[in-house]
Amino acid sequence: MNVNSTQSRRSFITATCATFSGLTVSSRVSAQDSFDRYIIKTTEPGEISHLDIVHQLDSVNLCVVRGSEKEVGKSSKSYAPDIVTATDRSLEPQKISEEGSATNEPLFDKQWDKQVQNIPAAHSITRGEGSRVAVIDSGIDPSHPDLKHAVNENLSKNFTNDGGDYSDVDYHGTHVSGIIAANDHNNQGIVGSAPRTDLVALRVFERFRGALFGDILAAVVYSAEINADVANLSLGSILSRYGLGSFYGKALNKTMTYARREGTLIVASAGNSSTDLQHDSGLISLPNEGAQVLSVSATGPTNFNPDTGDSELPYYAPTTYTNYGTNVIDIAAPGGRLDSDIQDRILSTVPTDLSEFSPYGYLAGTSMAAPQVTGAAALIASVNQKPSSPTKITRSLKKAAETPDEYSKRFYGSGFINIPKALEIL
């Protein structure tokens, strides 16, 4: 592959998504209070009738409102200011040659992540037909040639109040979506794990801003309401387990438990601050430590050679940035490396208006590992009897996964993902 670092940002994107929020590149995401919005616990609908309601989540007895703390306090004794994760984006311009072997798709030889998961074998069983995936992120580019077949425009939605639609305001959501559902056999670009799934874009990020916690909760509830089999959250924050953090944790747990009960599996990135989440001194990472959430850590090779498929460190080696913890991580999946060659990252789709040369780019992070598992879950949901069962999907994924002998279990939970075996078990 030819790489020219002098190309403009619009030529080709490779970003270091070594972040917990997905859109940031700081070692740990900070959070700041947004004092014009509050999340409140409700018991009676009349309690909030006089407030400016942003999201009314009756199914989980929560509501997101806009107004002063004085007015909010009159309505409920249990509330907290809505928070937004800070953003700090970094792009490293690159250029990619579209030339390559045509195994499944022209760029498949560069997709080490799909090769090691044996996606072609999984596709001999299912390509995700009949399943539905919600991507709670920065939006999706519905015009991308590898995604326009999959995006459900009727169900996709913008949960922010910025006046836009569900289209990607950055690049992160489109990249995540390509990992899940990029078109198969259209002789262009890449292939996703579940190319025939019904993809729903739920935008919770505003341009140049993080995602408000209340918008994320509303998107999770909506995912369950539209009968999504899986919802992907490549985002999050690290908070104190006490004070306001306790409120957010309880609100999230209630929301995630509701989604799971309604048949929606929540898959979340573990975070990228190299933190031992099992011994983190009173901190909690959300949403991946929430109730009923499948938490995903990241692995990746070094010096991957697209021509031979060889690498120095194996594809299942833990990355230096991934969060870990034996009782916190559920499964590991390819997320790409930041400390080696660009080809050791994850190649996927980026919005077409960001690239005059090629609408594909490399990113790395647990943000990229989570959608690998989401795509796998969509495949399992496709062959599972309706209604979908998050418990069956989780059990199949965990039972099929294996922990490499040479690495600690604290990075893997049940082990490294094995999609064909999970389908066989089901």
Q: Which sequence positions are flagged as catalytic? A: 137, 172, 367
| DSSP conformation letters of 290-309 | STTEEEEEEE--SS--TTT-
Sign of CA dihedral 279, 326, 253, 160: positive
Using CA atoms, how far apart are residues 183 and 286, in angstroms rounded to an integer? 31
Listed residue (136, 288, 265, 146) closest to 204, CA to CA: 136
* 395: DSSP letter: H
Sequence-separated (6 or more) residues with CB below 8 Å from residue 44: none
Cβ of 2: how many Cβ atoms within 10 Å? 8
Using CA atoms, how far apart are residues 128 and 229, in angstroms rounded to an integer? 11
3-state SS record for 61-130: CEEEEECCHHHHHHHCCCEEEEEEECCCCCEEECCCCCCCCCCCCCCHHHCHHHHHCCHHHHHCCCCCCC
* 151: DSSP letter: B
